[in-house]
Amino acid sequence: MKTVKIALKTLLASVSVLVLVSLLAPLSSMAQIGVAPKVPLSTVTDIPNVVNPNENEFQRESHFLTFIGSYIPETADSARAYYKAVDPYNTKPTFADWLKNAGFISDKSQWHAYGPQIIKTGQPTGPGAYGDNIINADSHVIVLNAADLGFVRNQFIRCKPSCAALNPIIYTYLENYPVAPFAGTSGFPAGSGYPNQSEATAAINSAINRPLGQVNGQSVERIADVAFEWAPPATNPNSSTRFGQQYAYIFAHTGTDQNGNPIIFETTDFPARDFGKPIIDFKAGDGSATTIKGSPLVDKFAPNLDGVGFKQHPGVCLVCHGGAPTNLTSTGAYPRQGNINGFRFLPLDNANLLFTYDGGPLTQAAQEPQIKQYNRIVLLTVPRFAESDGTGAVRVAHLREVIQGWYASGGNYSDDTTMSSNTQNSAWIPKGWREAPNGTAPVGSEKLYKQVVGPSCRTCHFNRELSLDFGTAANFRQESDLQQLALLVNCKQHNPDPKAKFMPLALLTFVRFWQTQGAGQTLSDGTFIDKAVDQLATYFGYNGVAGYCATNP
């Protein structure tokens, strides 16, 4: 395998195109215009080259976190239409507005945009349940998402009127904080798919204090607030219909006022400081750039989740949360009032997370009760009924089976669905992946599930339609494009396809997947992963990824 080792600064070195590079950094700190050669995106060894020297910037930015197959390019227009569909009366233009509507605070004056908070879980009522700097939630967890985006996530969830109610409205939000300022040894997320324990501890302990400023010359400030609703349409709040809705609020620290207090904006619009800055025009598809606009055409905040490019809401989040973007109607409206079929919340999957390791209140063991409560609430958004998955099996969604299985009593092959265990068992195996004597899946299926599907596929495929949710070995094996999407990049790295999409579809997950070829890695639950790419190729009957490439696919 060709070894690629490109420092981030190389990407800003020479002439030709607009490049948006700084990994997982706020927009304000990014070098917006580059003079950059067409070089590989990889920044660590053992990662195949995915960039063709002749591709345009649209192609370069759409290798990851964009949809496979027929891609519908989202634009500032479609993002504005989406927000108008889910919030037609513009009641949630700021994050404080959204928090008040969801019930995390009772008055906008109670919200503090930075600094430690008073967090009350179990959704208390009565005196003291609300007040200055208090967050009223059902569950609160802070973790490092080492699986796909590499942020520390300070996240909360709550239900209206309660999580025990029939068909509740559910709200969840997460504050994203960078890890890079604390990742001196691993270089995570640019230099490694696996930060070490001390780096995770430092990053999480910083984020829980919601800081302003820098560490090691890099910003430790919040990047964005991402909010989700499982709610009826805004035009019919008494409807029994529930569907997923999402909001992305940029965190913009723009200086200090005349009294020396920080000036902070948390809005769904790009702030004025960013007007006129270039952003790729995805609708054009030819690598050309447009600029972020202010009034009267206010552009909605488009997150740069992996450092490769800014992508519009809601599609950039639908990649993992389910559903797919759609074309606007002839009148420019987002269809069905923003009701995107298949969009759901994601669970907290401990094996793909990192925690603090200092014995304090944010260790995995200490947070297990809150994690379980969070996952119980996520389960409320998942259909209960069984249906055919296209292989002859009739079953519930992979996501439902796994959340219940994580908390089953009786071990890794238990069929208990009461969720009576208080600790997540990430080694639990779904029925359709069990080998003899516990099932009928082919030999090697359980290892593949633990070391490949769980770490590299499951997070996003959880919320795909049943035929693509990888809930059984047969379901996994029927996906005809899987081998090409996951393995072909190695065969074509000397002349990669400019239009190619890859699996895993998130850049960090892609890095983690390929990095195991050179050095085995251990997940937080103790699972050791070695040569995940070769394991996948072998499962499909090849002599590793080299054997797959030898077939001249």
pLDDT at 529: 94
Residue 10 has pLDDT above 60, yes or no: no
User: What confidence score (pLDDT) does residue 71 get?
Assistant: 64
Contact in structure between 93 and 80 (CB atoms under 8 Å): no
pLDDT in tens, 144-166: 999 889 999 999 999 999 999 99
Instruction: List, as one string, the DSSP characters of 278-334.
Output: EEE-TTT-SS-EEE---TTSPPBP---SSSS----TTHHHHHHHS-------TTSPP
Is the pLDDT at 458 greater than 70, yes or no? yes
* pLDDT of res. 357: 96
545: helix, coil or strand? helix
Structure tokens belonging to residue 14? 């020479």
154's tokens: 């300070």
Q: Is the pLDDT of residue 34 over 60?
A: no
Positions of E strands within 92-241:
118-120, 134-136, 139-145, 152-160, 169-177, 214-215, 218-219, 224-231
Instruction: With a cut of 80, say whether residue 45 has pLDDT above it.
Output: no
> With 90 as the cut, is the pLDDT of residue 296 above it?
no
C-alpha–C-alpha distance, residues 48 and 488, integer Å: 10
47-101 pLDDT, tens digit each: 898 988 889 888 888 899 988 666 677 888 999 999 999 999 999 999 999 999 9
Q: Model confidence over 317-356: pLDDT tens digits?
A: 998 999 888 889 999 999 999 999 999 999 999 999 999 9
Domain ranges of the chain: 76-338, 383-550
- Share of residues in the chain with pLDDT > 90 (%): 71
* CB-based contact 185:197 (threshold 8 Å): no
For residue 403, pLDDT over 50 is answered with: yes
Which three-class secondary structure state does DSSP give residue 259?
coil
| Tokens coding 331 | 């009148």
Beta strand segments in 146-268, E: 152-160, 169-177, 214-215, 218-219, 224-231, 243-256, 262-267
Q: CB under 8 Å, gap of 24 or more: what pairs does 288-295 form?
A: 288/57, 288/58, 289/18, 289/57, 290/76, 293/76
Give residue 313's pLDDT band: very low, low, confident or very high (50, 70, 90). Answer: confident
Q: What is the pLDDT of residues 169-184, one digit of tens each?
A: 999 999 999 999 999 8
Determine contact, residues 143/195, Cβ cutoff 8 Å: no
**For residue 434, pLDDT beyond 50:** yes
DSSP state of 10: G
Angle at 458 between CA 79 and CA 370, to 5 degrees: 85
Q: What is the pLDDT of residue 309?
A: 84
Q: How far is CA 141 from CA 104, 291, 362, 419, in A?
A: 15, 37, 8, 19
Lowest mean pLDDT among 16-25, 232-241, 427-436: 16-25
Joined tokens for residue 476:
């996994």
pLDDT, averaged across the chain = 89
What are the angstrom distances between the C-alpha of 484 and each of 45, 477, 481?
Answer: 22, 13, 5
The secondary structure of residue 212, as a DSSP letter, is -
CA distance 485 to 504: 8
Q: What is the pLDDT of residue 108?
A: 98
Beta-sheet pairing, 118-120 with 134-136: parallel
- Cα end-to-end distance, the chain, whole Å: 17
Average pLDDT over residues 213-219: 94
Q: Which pLDDT band holds residue 1 (cuts at 50, 70, 90)?
A: very low
Q: From residue 416, give the alpha-carbon distance in Å to each of 277, 376, 388, 413.
A: 54, 15, 22, 9
pLDDT (tens digit, 9 = 90+) per residue, 118-142? 999 999 999 999 999 999 999 999 9
**Bridge partners, residue 137, by sequence:** none
- Average pLDDT for residues 110-121, to the nearest whole number? 98
Mean of the pLDDT values across residues 233-259? 95
Do residues 528 and 521 lie in contact, with contact meaning Cβ atoms separated by under 8 Å?
Answer: yes
pTM of the model: 0.92
Per-residue pLDDT tens over the stretch 250-284: 999 999 999 999 999 999 999 998 999 888 888 88
